[in-house]
C-alpha cells in the first residue's frame, strides 16, 4: 500500500474535512485531484494510488459527510455546488492552480462544474461513468439504496451483501474483490458492527422533487474543449448511456477520448485493463503538455 499523508481543511460553514495526500516524484507534473462517487470516499482511490503514487501526486478528499470528514448540520448542503465550494477552499489552501481532475459519478459532476467555472486550471480531466444526462433507471437504483444504513456482523457478511446487490455491475468479481470493496465502503462502529461509512442523510436532497437535477451541465462541455479529457463508460452502465457519452465526445471535440470498459456497470474502478490503458494514454498527453 502506498504511503500517504492524512490532512485536513475547513469548509466555509466550519466543517473539518479530510483528504489523503499521496506524494508524487515529479513536481513538474500537475496533481491528480480524485473525487469519489456519492457513497464513496478517499479509500476508493487507494488501488489507483498504489499504481500511480511516486509518479503523480494524488489528492483524494473525503467529501463532507463521508469517512473522516465531518457530517453536515444541514443535510441540504449535501449537493454538488456545496461540494464545489468545499473543494475550492482545499485548492486555495494547497495553492493548486493546475491539476488533473479525476471524477467518478458524483465526482464527475463536480468536475463538470469546475469546467464550467474555471476551466483554465484543468490540465486534464477524467469523467468516469457520468455525464450531463443521468439515466432514470440509474437514478432509481441509487435512490433505492442510498441512506438505507445496512449493518453486518463481519466483513465477509458485508462483502456477500455487496455481491448480492452489485452482481450485475461487476459480474466477474470473486469474494476477494468484494471484500476489498467492503473495506473501502464500510467501517467498524463502536459496537463492532460493520457499517456504511457515510452520513445516511446524504440521501435527503435526492428525495426532494427535482433534487437530483441541479443545473443543466451540457454547457459545461465547452469548458473541456482545450483540456485533454477522458470519457470513461462502463459497458453495462445504467447511469451513462452510450448515446450521452457519444454526444459528450462530440460536444467537447478533438480533446476528448471515449473509452468503454467491458463487462462493468456503474462505475469502473479505474483498475480494469481498458481503464488503465485509457487513463495512461490521457496522462501521457497531460505530461507532454505540462
DSSP assignment string, 31-97: EEEEE--TT--GGGGHHHHHHHBTTB-EEEEPPTTBTTSPPPSSGGG-SHHHHHHHHHHHHHHHT--
What is the average pLDDT across 181-187?
A: 97
Considering the chain, what is the average pLDDT of its residues? 95
- How far apart CA 126 and CA 39 sit, in angstroms, is 19
Nearest to 104 by CA among 20, 31, 36: 36
- How far apart CA 23 and CA 4 sit, in angstroms, is 7
Confidence tier at 212 by pLDDT (50, 70, 90): low
What is the predicted pLDDT for the residue at 210?
54
CA distances from 193 to 148, 157, 188, 210 (A): 15, 11, 6, 35
Q: Quick check: 222 pLDDT over 60?
A: yes
Q: Quick check: 6 pLDDT over 60?
A: yes
Any bridge partners for residue 19, and if so which?
A: 7, 61
The residue written with cell numbers 473541456 in the block is 224
What is the predicted pLDDT for the residue at 94?
98
Confidence tier at 146 by pLDDT (50, 70, 90): confident
Domain-wise residue ranges, the chain: 5-144+214-289
- Category of 83 on φ-ψ map: left (φ > 0), alpha (ψ -120 to 50) or beta: alpha
**Which CATH superfamily groups domain 5-144+214-289?**
Alpha/Beta hydrolase fold, catalytic domain (3.40.50.1820)
Kindly give, in sequence order, each residue whose CB lies less than 8 Å from that of residue 203, ignoring residues fewer than 6 positions away.
143, 146, 147
Strand bridging mode 151-152 / 194-196:
antiparallel
H or E stretch covering 229: strand 229-234
Q: Quick check: 211 pLDDT over 60?
A: no
Amino acid at each position: 500500500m502506498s504511503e500517504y499523508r492524512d490532512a485536513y481543511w475547513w469548509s466555509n460553514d466550519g466543517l473539518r474535512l479530510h483528504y489523503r495526500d499521496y506524494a508524487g516524484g515529479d513536481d513538474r507534473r500537475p496533481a491528480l485531484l480524485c473525487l469519489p462517487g456519492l457513497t464513496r470516499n478517499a479509500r476508493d482511490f487507494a488501488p489507483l494510488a498504489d499504481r500511480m503514487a511516486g509518479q503523480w501526486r494524488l489528492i483524494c478528499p473525503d467529501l463532507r459527510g463521508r469517512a473522516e470528514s465531518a457530517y453536515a448540520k444541514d443535510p441540504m448542503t449535501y449537493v454538488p455546488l456545496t461540494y464545489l465550494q468545499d473543494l475550492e477552499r482545499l485548492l486555495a489552501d494547497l495553492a493548486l492552480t493546475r491539476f488533473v481532475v479525476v471524477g467518478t459519478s458524483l465526482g464527475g459532476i463536480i468536475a463538470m462544474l469546475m469546467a464550467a467555472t474555471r476551466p483554465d486550471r484543468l490540465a486534464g480531466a477524467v469523467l468516469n461513468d457520468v455525464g450531463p444526462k443521468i439515466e432514470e433507471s440509474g437514478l432509481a437504483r441509487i435512490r433505492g439504496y442510498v441512506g438505507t444504513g445496512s449493518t453486518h456482523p463481519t466483513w465477509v457478511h458485508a462483502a456477500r451483501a455487496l455481491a448480492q446487490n452489485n452482481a450485475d455491475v461487476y459480474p466477474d468479481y470473486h469474494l476477494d474483490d468484494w471484500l476489498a470493496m467492503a473495506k473501502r465502503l464500510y467501517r467498524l462502529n463502536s459496537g463492532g458492527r460493520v457499517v456504511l461509512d457515510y452520513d445516511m442523510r446524504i440521501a435527503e436532497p435526492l428525495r426532494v422533487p427535482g433534487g437530483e437535477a441541479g443545473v443543466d451541465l451540457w454547457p459545461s462541455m465547452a469548458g473541456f474543449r482545450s483540456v485533454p479529457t477522458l470519457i470513461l463508460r462502463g459497458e453495462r452502465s445504467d447511469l451513462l448511456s452510450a448515446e450521452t457519452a457519444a454526444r459528450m465526445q462530440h460536444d467537447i471535440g478533438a480533446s476528448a477520448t471515449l473509452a468503454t470498459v467491458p463487462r462493468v456497470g456503474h462505475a469502473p474502478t479505474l483498475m480494469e485493463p481498458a481503464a488503465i490503458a485509457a487513463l495512461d494514454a490521457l496522462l501521457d498527453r497531460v505530461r507532454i503538455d505540462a
